[in-house]
Structure 1
Amino acid sequence: MTKKQLLSAAIIVALSGASTAVHAAGFQLNSQSATGLGRAFAGDAVIADNASVAARNPAAMALFKEANFSLGFNFIDTDVRVKSGTYHQPKITTSIFPPSVDFDSNAFDIGGTDGIGASSFVPNMHLVMPINEQWAWGLSAYSNFGTGTEFDDDFAASLFGGTTSVKSMNFAANVSYLINEQWSVGAGLDLIYGMGDLKRGFDAELCNKPLFGEEECRTVKEDVIDVEATGFAVGWNIGAVYELNENHRFGLSYRYSPTVKADGDDPTDKIDLPLPDMAEFSGYHRLTDKFAAHYSLQWVQWSAFNSLQLQTQSDLFGILPSMAIDKAYEWKDAGHISIGGTYYLNDSWTLRTGYMYDIAATDELMSISIPDSNRHWFSAGFTYHPDSKQSIDFGFTYLMGEDVTFDESLSPSLPAPSITGATTRSDAILVGLQYSRSF
């Protein structure tokens, strides 16, 4: 068995596992505005307190009587940990005579791996321009999806960990139409710019047991995947708003998200970034002059991803015949439910809070590269109005994940590389700041 044969096989197997990492559920961002962040995005498809509502429901632009511009950012700091787990490194021993091969594994403890989460700065910009009493148009730039983990170079299970970064930027142009006092509709096009960065390593212990003499072993370590790719795709969104009266209204929106086919400088640098469709229903109810309650229910079509099939080269590892690798995903449709409240303290200050239960899309199959679990959002924020035309928004969220324990392997046919008993946890802190102005 040669080093070239081993690495060729490793690349094929690694690509199967790497696709799981890139497409793993849980890389949806809710970061379109600091205003929404402060209420856990409860009611965000219909509240329309600034132009950022266009990112959730284009029909809500019909609620604006004058132009509004909003500019802000959200900062996301994730704390991702591998609390426990065992990595089984391939150990392949061959003998010359009689011909025989033993496929074994070495075990390494990978527990206590901290600090693999990434921090990200997510800007957003929104503009809503009423044309007349019925028509309005708007432009937005923001992100719907993004995630990232980065393991140290000496991380034992580098074929499973390594570097994983998936980001997208959405540039939207929308239009809305006010049908009557109760109904508004809207639609728009989304130009999506996707970016993927994927790095994976592979290491194995190769041992030769000669007919005479002592066994000789050496460790092979190579970078087998190093891909940086970008690409564009076009999606669309539609929405509707129903106003029962000035204090009670409902919003419904649907967003079609395409697959971004990203390419890099090298012809082999290709990453498909399939983005799920989303639907959202929101309600807003101003119960008194001072207090309003609001809520949202969002559905995300993660079940669009099933599995990836690959055929290995013949003579895999120099010892196994050609085989088909079926890397299953088995994602489920997911989403979130959020509730919130807004307190209108006075003309200068508005206070808000919210809670979101964010459901993980992963089911039985999980990955340490993008740990996913059900998440709890605890949010609070405020708006300060320097005058009737301007507002400054601040939002804060503590996102608390849950411990999940699982095993991970690249193929049931291979005893190693694999991970057993991995327990991961992902928490995050999100902070947002935003400036809005009407004119």
Structure 2
Amino acid sequence: MNLHLHTALTAALLALPGQLLAGGLMLYETATDNVGLANAGAAARAQGPATLASNVAGIAWLPGTQISAGLQVLHSNLDFKTDAGTNIAGGDSGNAMEWSPGGSFFVSHELGDGWSVGFASYGDFGLSLDYTNDWSGRYFMQEGEILGMTLLPTLAYRIDEQWAVGIGLRAFYGMLDTRIAVDNDPLGVLDRPDGRLKYRDHDWGYGANLGLIYAPRPGTRLGLSYTSEIDVKFEDGLDLEGVGPFVSDRLRERGVLGADTRIEMHVPQTLTLSLYHQLDERWALLASANWQDWSRFGEVGIDLDSDTPRSATVKANYRDTWHLSLGTQFRFDPRWLWSFGVGYDSSSVDDDDRTLTVPMGEAWRFGTGLTYALDSQTDLNLSYELVWLGDMPIDQAKPLPPNAPKRISGEFEDAWIQALSASASWRF
């Protein structure tokens, strides 16, 4: 990319916040029973108010007032092992994602005459990484967090026994926080400890969720759900700690020190098609297909607000992704419902374009869960999912110093993320 800056050092520092946005993680895991199905049938099930997270039309199928609340925790094995191609001292990364909690809340209310309203609060977008501070990749990433929370008031209408539609107005709260080591001795002639660059901000963005459900016969539903793109803009100065005069003088000369850097992120639009089919009183079959617009998300706008304003678009070579999942539900007792699902997500990046800031690739999801009817009004659910990422190689380089660019090379071996979710639902 060309930021029209006169030093490679300034260009590299400006690009750092943008690198964190050149990818992301859109979660199907929102502390609901959907975890145990690996997203299979999500846009067609309409089995509780948590349908708001996957198809807003689903609440038109729910009688009375219903409430669902859940908690979940994510844990991973994301340990980067360096190889002989790395020329920076420091060693491996340690596990970059130990524990990450989350929660959700959903409510639906039947107004009558086919109308229903609902409200949802959940986190379905984000990634939090915490590498060892002095590891070999510290000049690429030490800590990074990008999180998104959704607030979703919804209106749905059941047209007749077969059709229902819904619309939700989505308020999205995004937060970006990144920390990267700064080399105070880029030419290798001084003995100075590393400094640190910090960038942090938050913003609100707005969009819409649209849903449609068609039931050709009792026990069979097709669901189609669309979520619009949401734009979020972050603005902060490059907060430098412990940076030596060599670096700070160059930044000051170019008008970067003290200037605000604006970063524009595009939360991807998505489209999901799902099937729920009741085979008999005990068994149900579920399936989903999903598309996500990651190619648009890979275009990150960066503006430098200084005496000589500069703008650029970072293109991270991202591509759109697709998801397929199959699942089943088995009611082996009037009070017990067992769920199982398998899903596959394609990768938004090739191996050559993967970065330490967003170490994601293709993924297999294996989920299972149990729902227990405590009484006629209360359900309890416990679900587990394993997201298998496998081996993810990375080879990144920085152009500084020009005579000996810094390089980090290796792979995340047998990478995985697991989710454990517990939720409760009440009907009134």
1:379 aligned onto 2:367: yes
Counterpart position of 2:123: 143
Change (3 A) 1:415 1:204: farther
Aligned residue in 1 for 2:267: 275
Deviation at 1:58, TM superposition (A): 0.8
Which residue, out of 283, 294, 311, partners 2:286?
A: 294
The one-character-per-residue Cα deviations of 1:324-343 (angstroms, maximum 9, x if unpaired) are 99854110100311111000
Tell me the CA shift for residue 280 of structure 1.
0.5
C-alpha contact 1:118 1:148 (8 A) present in aligned 2:
no
Q: SS at the partner of 1:345?
A: strand
> How big is each residue's C-alpha offset from its partner over 1:298-346, in whole Å with a ceiling of 9 and x where there is no partner?
111001045568899xxxxxxxxxxx99854110100311111000122
Q: Is the Cα–Cα contact under 8 Å of residues 263 and 271 in structure 1 kept in the other structure?
A: yes
Moved more, 170-179 or 29-38: 29-38
Partner of 2:319: 332
Q: Aligned partners of 1:328 and 1:382: how far apart in 2? A: 43
Identity %: 22
Say if 1:326 and 1:63 are closer, same or farther in 2 by CA, change over 3 A: closer
What secondary structure does 1:335 align onto? strand
| 2:43 aligned with 1:45 | yes
Q: Distance in 2 between matches of 1:415 and 1:174?
A: 58
User: How big is each residue's C-alpha offset from its partner over 1:355-399, in whole Å with a ceiling of 9 and x where there is no partner?
Assistant: 111222112411022211111111110101011111001100111
In structure 1, runs of 5+ residues without a counterpart are 1-6, 89-106, 209-216, 313-323
Match for residue 342 of structure 1 among 325, 329, 342: 329
Report the Cα offset of residue 218 of structure 1: 0.9
Deviations 1:86-130 (A, max 9, x none): 576xxxxxxxxxxxxxxxxxx236664321124211110000101
Residues 186-221 of structure 1 show CA distances to partners (whole Å, capped at 9, x for unaligned) of 11101111111111112164559xxxxxxxx21444
Native 8 Å contact 1:14 1:200 kept in 2 = no
Amino acid at match of 1:38: G
Aligned to 2:60, which of 28, 52, 62?
62
Distance 1:259 1:249 in 2: 32
- Give the one of 140, 160, 163 matched to 2:140: 160
Q: CA RMSD in A?
A: 2.9
- How far apart, CA to CA, are the structure 1 residues paired with 2:219 and 2:51? 17
Write the mapping of 1:340-419 to structure 2, written as runs, cut at 5 A. Answer: 340-363=327-350, 364-410=352-398, 416-419=404-407
TM-score by length of 2: 0.85
Q: Which one-letter code corresponds to 2:362 in the other structure?
A: N
Change in CA separation of 1:205 and 1:180 when aligned onto 2, cut-off 3 Å? same
Using the size of structure 1 for normalisation, the TM-score is 0.83
Partner of residue 412, structure 2: 424
SS at 1:16 equivalent: helix
In 2, distance between residues paired with 1:48 and 1:308? 36
CA offsets, 1:153-179, max 9 Å, x none? 212332212111000110001111111
1:413–1:248 Cα change, 3 Å: farther
Q: Is 1:257 aligned to 2:244, yes or no?
A: no
Does residue 437 (structure 1) correspond to residue 418 (structure 2)? The answer is: no
- SS of residue matched to 1:108: coil
Kindly indicate whether residue 211 of structure 2 is the aligned counterpart of residue 223 of structure 1: no
SS of the aligned residue for 1:288 comes to coil
Q: Is the 8 A contact 1:82 1:110 kept in 2?
A: no
- Return closer, same or farther for 1:198/1:37 CA change in 2, 3 Å cut-off: same
Deviations 1:126-151 (A, max 9, x none): 00101004100100000120101112
- Give the aligned partner of residue 103 of structure 2: 123
Flag the 1:220–1:250 CA change in 2: closer, same or farther, 3 A.
same
Q: Distance in 2 between matches of 1:261 and 1:286?
A: 44
Pick closer, same or farther for the CA change 1:11–1:75 going to 2, 3 Å. Answer: farther
Residue 192 of structure 1 corresponds to which residue in structure 2? 172
Unpaired runs of 5+ in structure 2? 1-5, 240-258, 305-310
Distance in 2 of aligned mates of 1:86 and 1:416: 16
